[in-house]
Structure formats: structure tokens, C-alpha cells
Structure 1
Amino acid sequence: MTKYKFPFKTTHLSLILALFICCSFQSNGYSYKHIKTDEPQSIHILEVDPNHFNIKPVHAFNMSLGRETVETLSKKNNAIAAVNGGFFKVDRWEGRPSGILKINNFWYGLPLQPRGAIAWDHNAKTVLMDRVTASVKISFSGKTYLIDGLNRPRKLDEIILYSSQFNSTTLTSPEGKEFIIINDKVVAIRNEGNSAIPPNGFVLSVGKCESSDFCNHILVGMPMYINIEITPQSNESTLKLWNSVPNIVGGTPLLIKNGHIIRDFSPEKTISSFLTARHARTAVGILPNGHWIFVVVDGNQEHLSKGMTMAELADYMFNLGSIGALNLDGGGSSTMVIANKVVNDPQGDIDEDQSLKKVRKVSDAILILEKNEY
């Protein structure tokens, strides 16, 4: 093993006292390094030039529900490389995004509170990072209504919108009423749940209609307009861009903004242990030259790789040169795939029958594709 000095901006972290590049390679448009530190940490770094490759998010089975491994998603899409994406639910609606996810202008999920996100255009050269909030509004009969959410379980006192990316049906309980919307028009009204969602259409599901003037004013044939708006928390001048880009992936927390490390993660309302304990991590960053950088830190391996705290990860991304960076899903989800092969050591989930480690299935991933594969 050969010892190298790595070109960090600053090296005030104890975890960067000694670095060993275990293996590395460079191809036209991307490079990969596997680095080990004395902490110990095992760190995988992938740098991608968007002039040579497309960068695309993808959800398992191209629906809001369901999970697949990063390796499977990479192979199915002929990707050069891939990392796991945003956080997700493992409840009855398994694989549902916990935060914002927009793929090629189709909505899969929205955040419930301010959370970090990265957004980009088709050529991955216009890139935005910020904490964002989201709202869903519907308009009909000259009035606009703020509703409760998108593509998530509907409570009895809620109004939820379901897109065709969610599932074949709404999976809602029998109570309430559902309005089928195609091409900005109400085409059917059903007095029960679990309605079929039309391709490229929506279903508006209302839990309690009996006491609602809202329901009584909706008729078949009536125009109904849907507006999903994303609001950046630190730069209102980018509002129009955030709402026009085709791809958005959520994470938490935002690590670096406009070249400055973020020290206060409290606006994103994550639990303390998630931030202060060392875990496996996945992060995405943008360099001053426009290149993307993906970092996966292995964790939960006391003598091989302990992982990083969130502050350590923010410092690490900064020292790699990132002017913007976002933490993605981590822990057992942290996976990097190159040439259809997992290059890190993910801890995944425990197989209760065989007590064996297995690679975790995730909801979504970020893929690196040849230009003709987008």
C-alpha cells in the first residue's frame, strides 16, 4: 500500500491525519478513489464531469412504492456508476420517498418540513442546492385550496393528491370520496377509496366529504388545476429555477451552501443521534469546475470503518473542494456501484433467517449514464 498526500483545502480534522489511497482509476470524464484513514474510515470518492455523462435519478420499478438494490438499478439502466439516493419509508407503503423526489418532471414525493435537496437540469450543468419546502394547491371555480400532501397515506381528515407515479391505485381506505383528474379536468367521482390512478393523471382523495363544501362544489367535467410549488429557504431569486428543473432529490441535512460549511442543522429537525454519531454516509457535492462528486463512507465496522458524524462529513466534503453538498440516505443504504459492481462495503440489512448481512434494497438512486442513455 502506498501512502499519498491528498490535495485538501485544509486538514484540521483528526480523521484526515493520515490518508492511504488503496486503489484509484481515471477514465475520460470520471475518476474513482478508495481512501483509508487512521480513524479508521474507508471512503469512496467518485468525480463525474457532466460534459461527458448524464446524471439521472431513478426510483425502483419507476413507481413511488417498492425497493431495489443500487446494483440492480444500475444494471437495469445501463449505468456507468450509481449511488443510493434519498431517504424512504419501510412501512406498509414500502419504498415511498420520505422527502422530495422529482424525476424527469414527474413527482414521486414531497417533504413534510424544510429539508435539503439538490436539483438539476437534463445536462446536469444547472445545479441548485438549498433547504426547500413544498406546497400542493388545486384550483377550481375561481378558488384555490391548499391540500395536505402528495403520494402518502391519507388520514380521515386529510386531502391527498396521488400521481400516476405513485401506484396503480391510491391504496386508500373506503371512507371519503375520490376525484379522477385527466388533462386538468374532473372525469369521474367515486364514493370510495383505492381508485385506479390514470396514466399521466391524478386522483384527489378526500377523507371527510360530508361536512365539506369543498367536495360539494366539484362536478364531473369541471376544470381542475394542480400546482406543486417548491420554495427555497435561503434564496428566493431561484424560486423559478427550482420549479422548472426536471430533477430533484431530497436529503438531510444540507452540508455546504455557496462555499460555506453549514454548522447549524437544526432547521431540518433531524434527531441528534443521526447527526452526532458516526454512521455510514452518502453525500453529493458540486465542485467549482461544475464536476459532481459523490462520497460514500463505510460504517458500523469498528476496526475497518467507523463512519462519520455529520459535522465530519461536512468538513470532508468541503476539503474535497465542494461549494455545495448534501447528505443523502446513509447507514445500511450507503452503496456505490461502478461498472455494475459494488465497490464499497455496505452493511445492508440483517437476514433474520440466516443471520447474514445482505445489501439493502433502496427506493431510489442517482445514476451516471452515457450521453445516449438518458
Structure 2
Amino acid sequence: MMKKWTQFIVGTIAAVLIFALPVQANAFQVVNKDLPLSSGVQYKNYTYKNTYTNSINHLAINLQDPYTALKIGVPSPINSVATTTKLANSHSFEGNRVVGAVNAGFYNMSTGFPMYLISQNNEIVNGGVLSDSYSAYVSSPIAFGIREDGTADIESFDFDINLKYNNQDYEITGLNRERQDNEAIIFTPLKVGTTTGSNKYGLEFVIETEEPVTSNYFGQTLTGKITQIRDYGSEEVIRVPKNGFVLSVNGKKWIDSFKNMKIGEQVSVGFDINKNWKNSQFMLGSGPMLVKDGQRYITMNTSSSRATEIAPRSAIAISADKKQVHLVTVDGRLGSFSKGMSLTQFADYLVKLGFDRAINLDGGGSTTMGIRNYGSNNVVLANRPSDGYERRVSTILEAISTAPTSSPAHINASRDKTGTMLLGSSITLKLNYVMDAYYNNITIDPSKVIISSENNLVNINGYTYTASKVGQDRVLVNYESAVQSFPVTIVSEPATLSIASSAKTINTGGTINFSATAKDAAGNGLLYNPSQLSWTVEGNIGTIASNGKFTASNTAGKGKIIAQLGTKKVSVDVEVTEPASSLQSPFSDVSNKNVYLKEIVYLTNNGYIHGYEDSTFKPEQNLSRAHAAVLISRALKLDLTSVTDPGFKDVPTTHPYYREIAAVANARIVGGKENNLYDPQGTLTRAQMAAILTNAYKLTGTSTTKFSDVKSGYWAEKSISALAFNDITTGYADGTFKPSVPVTRMHFSVFLYRSIHR
């Protein structure tokens, strides 16, 4: 059911609950962001915790600022829809920069048509409807708008469509929208579509005027003569004349009033609105009203499902002097991040913010706020819509900066690291954006960027500056009239330098990782280039790499590990010892001093590997792919009684290691080669060994150690890195892994032992 605008009187709402809350300071919420978007528009994001935790986005608009305006964004045609950010960016141009936007009016999601009154510069964009139900959002003729004098208001209105025929006045129910039961609707050429689209259950009268009708506005009167009549029950399609309008009626009351109309008779229709809204810059019908005179004032049934639902919400509010406008959105349906609010909670929150009046806008999944981010003139999404993406909407409200782009005033550069610099260290700058005094983005011209030093203690090369002298300095980044500076402190050595390691006693042939920590006088980390930290070994105890990895020699001894940074040196004592062991080698070709005796004995004692009949182990003999399957199947205790034939052509069921090969293949530990071959007698490479152990023991992790002969994208790169990450391999002293080299029985034993005991 639709209702005539003037049938509702705001003062008769007896059920509206009015409740005052004191305006508090910002203690009731946390401010996460606070950014000026233009000279008259401020954006803030809050975390508000009351019944639920909510994320609030807020645009404050100062209508007194000479370069600030608030406009309504309407799509073309009126029934098209677009996302808030897309619509805002389509309306943004030099001298009319959209710096913030929020979704606005309710709309029919099936047709795209706005549901309520919209006017722009006194022209009627959409006639709108009202609901008869007090449980609906909009059952009261209330609008937000900017009046002729530039002030904002939230107030009731009386939109009047008056038809004069045969010296009688008739109050028509609607303009350029679908005719419902018991209604009289006026269709003008401003309607989307060329026909009325009304059903046959009514009368339609075509009235042509002397001049084309190119707009509809408040205060307008159209007078013409009837040129065509469509009778009740007729299915004739009635087109709206470009120089006139159509009266379409349904229901006994209206049919009885106009059934005697005749062709040639004169009919007039006028559109008007109450004086307060006449000649307004724009009007947007919405609802319900939420706040009036600084108190909660909700013009709908607050017990209805729409009002009590905890959901995303949008609203527009004004100050008592009508010169400040506030766009506020509450995200919702996002779990613990932001739950949403009921209408009562929303109204109470707006009262807390100190607003004089507020009216509800379309919310739920339509709730969207966009802002102009620094470094761009484009409007981007600022909130988190509940759908996970921006919903297309019908109309938006746009905070506008009319300031023209002017000279640079704001510059933003950042450093890749901050802190006290060691002599010789470097910092690289990044120029993020340049803006004028009104926060309009300025496209960066690299030739205008000047980086300099106040005291010439740094050398500047492009965007990188390097500490060249000890002392205090300041680096300046200039872009015409805009400047930003960074303080620089340069020292010749750290105030403290310390060495840390996992141990200070190591067996011969073992490894230890050393690291250094450098701090300035304030106890903060000192900035230096990695190449500035040097490691040396004192004494014949081993070698140390540039990354601090120490490898002990094969003879016992004592010495020092020395770290030097700048002019400061520190050292720690290290002792290399022979491994204490009572192990006796069971093999004639493996001595008791073999560095891998422990691993070989362990695997032998557990039955994972065996020697030969002549009591040898043959440690340097290459391991075959078949023997690798045997060792892995034994170590993992794989079931060999019910294997599935993997179908390798060169491993028949009669092969002596058929079950072991089948078991590791079934477990997806070892795969075959091309042409469905396993190549049991083929030698196992170190890369293949890495893949087998990674699969067998589900090794994960990525090592910071990079082997020079394992290039990015190499098929076994991840497996080799996983071995290094789990301290199963260290590679060779020259920084290589030698992935294609065959693995020996001794080395496979070591890697298998470490995988078992990782």
C-alpha cells in the first residue's frame, strides 16, 4: 500500500521514544585513523565497544569552508546502479574532487529505481513513495538536504502534486512511478521509458502542452489539452508525449472523478513543496529519523524486525547550526571485528557523538564508505561491506572539494630502515606522494625531487644516502615548496657489540652458527650493511663464513671467534674437541675415528643397513636406488606383506627387492623414472636423496642458506632447502650442495640418521 505525502503529520507520532544521553568525550571509543581529506572534510575510523565491538567510519564536512560542498550522486539513467566508489569517481574531476562518499537512498533491488523523493537544484529527480506501515523504514515524509542558503537540514516535507480539471483540484498520489491500486499517477517525459507501463485496469488520459516538457521542478505548472483517452480494460500502449503528460488512474474514487473527461478539454498539473525546501540544492527522502534536538527520536516501530536487527548501518547527521554534516557508517555481520547495531543502538551512538539531528540511510549490505586516499585523487573503499565486496547502489552522498590543484604543500617520504647509522651504512628513501594545501594529489615529476644534507655528513646517490662522516645531520627531501626531513646520527662503532652462539664447545668437523648484535648508546639496534660485519678465527681450529657459520677442523684445539663492526671488535672462546665415544667399528674399512662412526653403528645395530660378507662396509661405494628403497622401508618399518604392484617394468615380482621398492612407491616416498622404469641399479644422486628423505620424514621449512649450485626453480630446491632448515645437511665448504653427485653409503647413512633424530 502506498500513501499520499500529505496524509502524514509528523506531530501525531505519539509512540516515538525520546531519550537523552549526555555527550561524552572520546573516551568511549578508540580513534584508529584521523585524516583530513580536504580543507573542509575530515575522515575518522573508530573502534567502539559497547554491547558489541564495532568499526565506525565517519566523515565530518564543514559547509562553511569555501572549498567544500556536499552533493547527491545520482546515476544516469535513474534506474541504473553502481558501486559507491565507481559512482563517486565518475563524478570527480578537477575543481570538483569527490573526497568522501557514502551510500544514500533506499532503492528497489529488482528494478534499480530509487524508492523515495529525490530532488536536485529544485528539479524532481524521483517522486518516491511512502509506506503505510509504521514498521517500515520510511513511513514519514522526512528528508535530508542542502537548502538554498547552503545550510543542511533534516526535516519533514510536503510534496504536492495538484491536478486542476473542470475548476476542481485533485491531489495526485505519485509521479513517474508504477501505478498501484487506487492511485492517480502523472507520467511526464522525464520518466524512464517511453510508455506508462500501466495495466489495463484503469483509465489513461494523454494531455499535450504547447511546449516540450524537458524537466519537472517544484513550482512548475503544466497546462494542456486531452488528445487521447485509453478506456478501462483496453490493452492499448500509451506513450508519454514529449510535449505533455499522462494521467493514469485506478480505483472507483479516481475513475468516478475523471470518467467524463473528453478530448479537447484542458487539464493542468502542478508540482510544489513546502517553502522551507523550495529551491534547495538537493533533497533526499529517507528514514527513519534517528535523532532530533540532540536526543533519540526514531520515527518507526523500534520493536519491528528491521529496527531490532543487529546489522550494518548508515546515517547522515547535522549540527545544531546546520553548518556541519556528518556521514557515519557502522560495519556489521563481520563477527568479532564488527557486529553491527540495532536502530536504537545506532541512534544512541549518534547522540553520544553530539549531533543535533540524524536520519537513517540505506544500510545492511549496501553500507559503504569511500574516501580519497593520500597519493591519489581516486575514491577507494574505506569500510568492510558485509557481503565482502561493494554492492551496487542507486544514489550516494558526496563530500566535494572544489579547490583547484595548487602548489605542493605536503610531501611524504619513508625510509627502508630507521635508527643510528654506522659509518659506511646506507638508507634508501621512497617518495610516497606529494599533495597541495587542499590535499589534492600532484603527479610526481622525478626531476623536481631534490634530496640534500644539512651538514654534508652523508653521500647521496639518487634516493640512497650513505653515512660518510661521524656526527649529527639531517636529510632533506624537497619537492618545490614542499619539504620533509629526517634526523641522522652517525657513529664509528656500536656502543655495544655482542656475540651469541648455540655452543662454545664443538666436536671436530662440527658446525656452530654465530650471530652478532650491535646497539647504539640508547640501547637500540644499530643500522649497518651486512657486509660491514666481519668474522675471523684466531687459532687453527676451523673456518668461519661471512654469515657466521663456523666449521671446526678435524683436530682438537682452542681458539677465538672474532666479530668486528666498524672500529669495535669482540671475541668469544671456542674449543674443538675429539668426540668422546666408546663405539667400536664392526667393519674393517670403517675406523673407530671415523667422524660418522656413530651414525653407521646406529643404523647397523637397528638392522637398517648391513655390511658385506668380508666384514667391510664399503663407505665410499655409491648407493643404488634399490638399496635406498631397502634402507627407507626398514627405517620406517613399512608393511612388506601386502604391497601393491607399482608396475615398474624393470622391477618384476621376482626381483629380490620387489617388496621394498613397492612399499616405498606405495607410500609415495620414491617415484619412478620415464617410461615407467624404476632403475634399481642406478646410482642415487644427492638431489634424489633429499627428495626421498623429505617425503619419508615429511620435512618442511625453508633455509636461509642458499647453495650456489641449486638455482631457483630447480626440481629438488624445496627438498634440499628443507634438509638444510632441519640441520640435516650443511653442504660443502665452498657453499655448494652438488645435487647431481652420487650419494655414498656412508653419506646416506649420515643423512638418514639425522632425519630419524632431527
Specify the code of the residue in structure 1 equivalent to 2:341.
Answer: M
Number of the residue aligned with 2:361:
328
Say if 1:42 and 1:240 are closer, same or farther in 2 by CA, change over 3 A.
Answer: same
Say if 1:364 and 1:164 are closer, same or farther in 2 by CA, change over 3 A.
Answer: farther
Matched, 1:285 2:306: no
Number of the residue aligned with 1:342:
381
| Matched-pair contact (CA < 8 Å) for 1:54–1:122 | no
| Matched-pair contact (CA < 8 Å) for 1:55–1:124 | no
| Matched-pair contact (CA < 8 Å) for 1:66–1:95 | yes
- Of Structure 1 and Structure 2, the greater strand share is in 1
| Matched-pair contact (CA < 8 Å) for 2:148–2:279 | no
| Matched-pair contact (CA < 8 Å) for 1:53–1:370 | yes
Identical columns (%): 26
Specify the code of the residue in structure 2 equivalent to 1:19.
Answer: Q
Number of the residue aligned with 2:223:
185
Specify the code of the residue in structure 1 equivalent to 2:224.
Answer: V
After the TM superposition, which residues 301-316 of structure 1 pair with which residues of structure 2 at under 5 Å, given as runs?
A: 301-316=334-349
Number of the residue aligned with 2:81:
67
Number of the residue aligned with 1:233:
none
Q: Give the Cα separation in 2 of the matches to 1:17 and 1:200.
A: 61
Q: Give the Cα separation in 2 of the matches to 1:269 and 1:111.
A: 19
Q: Give the Cα separation in 2 of the matches to 1:313 and 1:200.
A: 47
| Superposition RMSD in Å | 3.0
Higher relative contact order (CA closer than 8 Å, sequence separation 6+): 1
2:103 to 62, 76, 84: 84
After the TM superposition, which residues 111-190 of structure 1 pair with which residues of structure 2 at under 5 Å, given as runs?
A: 111-112=129-130, 113-121=139-147, 124-125=150-151, 127-132=152-157, 134-155=159-180, 157-169=182-194, 170-174=196-200, 176-182=203-209, 184-186=222-224, 188-190=227-229
After the TM superposition, which residues 3-82 of structure 1 pair with which residues of structure 2 at under 5 Å, given as runs?
A: 10-11=23-24, 18-26=28-36, 27-38=38-49, 39-50=52-63, 51=65, 52-63=67-78, 65-78=79-92, 79-82=98-101
Specify the code of the residue in structure 1 equivalent to 2:113.
Answer: R
Q: Give the Cα separation in 1 of the matches to 2:40 and 2:310.
A: 32
| Matched-pair contact (CA < 8 Å) for 1:118–1:130 | yes
Cα distance per residue 1:322-344 (max 9 Å; x no partner): 11111111001111111211111
Specify the code of the residue in structure 1 equivalent to 2:247.
Answer: L
| Matched-pair contact (CA < 8 Å) for 1:159–1:204 | yes
| Matched-pair contact (CA < 8 Å) for 2:316–2:358 | yes
| Matched-pair contact (CA < 8 Å) for 1:181–1:204 | no
Q: Give the Cα separation in 1 of the matches to 2:224 and 2:336.
A: 60
Number of the residue aligned with 2:127:
109
Number of the residue aligned with 2:452:
none
Specify the code of the residue in structure 2 equivalent to 1:147.
Answer: I
Number of the residue aligned with 1:234:
none
Q: Give the Cα separation in 2 of the matches to 1:75 and 1:199.
A: 32
Say if 1:42 and 1:218 are closer, same or farther in 2 by CA, change over 3 A.
Answer: farther
Q: Which has the larger radius of gyration?
A: 2
Say if 1:23 and 1:156 are closer, same or farther in 2 by CA, change over 3 A.
Answer: closer
**Residue 73 of structure 1: SS of its match in structure 2?**
helix
| Matched-pair contact (CA < 8 Å) for 2:84–2:103 | yes
| Matched-pair contact (CA < 8 Å) for 1:21–1:35 | yes
Matched, 1:359 2:390: yes
| Matched-pair contact (CA < 8 Å) for 1:177–1:193 | no
**How many equivalent residue pairs?**
339
Shift of 1:95: 2.2
| Matched-pair contact (CA < 8 Å) for 1:347–1:358 | yes
Bigger CA drift: 190-199 or 95-104?
190-199
Matched, 1:222 2:254: no
Say if 1:269 and 1:219 are closer, same or farther in 2 by CA, change over 3 A.
Answer: farther
Say if 1:302 and 1:243 are closer, same or farther in 2 by CA, change over 3 A.
Answer: same
Bigger CA drift: 163-172 or 300-309?
163-172
Number of the residue aligned with 1:206:
249
Q: Give the Cα separation in 1 of the matches to 2:279 and 2:259.
A: 31
Number of the residue aligned with 1:273:
305
Specify the code of the residue in structure 2 equivalent to 1:367.
Answer: E
Q: Give the Cα separation in 2 of the matches to 1:318 and 1:201.
A: 48
Say if 1:199 and 1:31 are closer, same or farther in 2 by CA, change over 3 A.
Answer: farther
TM-score (norm 2): 0.41
| Matched-pair contact (CA < 8 Å) for 1:164–1:198 | yes
| Matched-pair contact (CA < 8 Å) for 1:83–1:367 | yes
| Matched-pair contact (CA < 8 Å) for 1:115–1:253 | no
Cα distance per residue 1:273-309 (max 9 Å; x no partner): 2212221111111124511111011111121111111
**Residue 204 of structure 1: SS of its match in structure 2?**
strand
Shift of 1:270: 7.3
Number of the residue aligned with 2:216:
none
Shift of 1:204: 2.2
**Residue 266 of structure 2: SS of its match in structure 1?**
coil
Q: Give the Cα separation in 2 of the matches to 1:116 and 1:270.
A: 17
**Residue 118 of structure 1: SS of its match in structure 2?**
strand
Q: Unaligned 5+ residue runs, structure 1?
A: 1-7, 230-238, 349-356
Number of the residue aligned with 1:254:
289
| Matched-pair contact (CA < 8 Å) for 1:106–1:165 | no
Shift of 1:223: 4.5
| Matched-pair contact (CA < 8 Å) for 1:172–1:193 | no
Q: Give the Cα separation in 1 of the matches to 2:22 and 2:360.
A: 20
Specify the code of the residue in structure 2 equivalent to 1:344.
Answer: N
Shift of 1:363: 1.4
Specify the code of the residue in structure 2 equivalent to 1:173.
Answer: N
Q: Give the Cα separation in 2 of the matches to 1:312 and 1:270.
A: 11
Q: Give the Cα separation in 2 of the matches to 1:211 and 1:292.
A: 46
TM-score (norm 1): 0.80
Shift of 1:359: 1.8
**Residue 74 of structure 1: SS of its match in structure 2?**
helix
Say if 1:96 and 1:200 are closer, same or farther in 2 by CA, change over 3 A.
Answer: farther
Bigger CA drift: 241-250 or 208-217?
208-217
Matched, 1:317 2:350: yes
Say if 1:313 and 1:200 are closer, same or farther in 2 by CA, change over 3 A.
Answer: farther
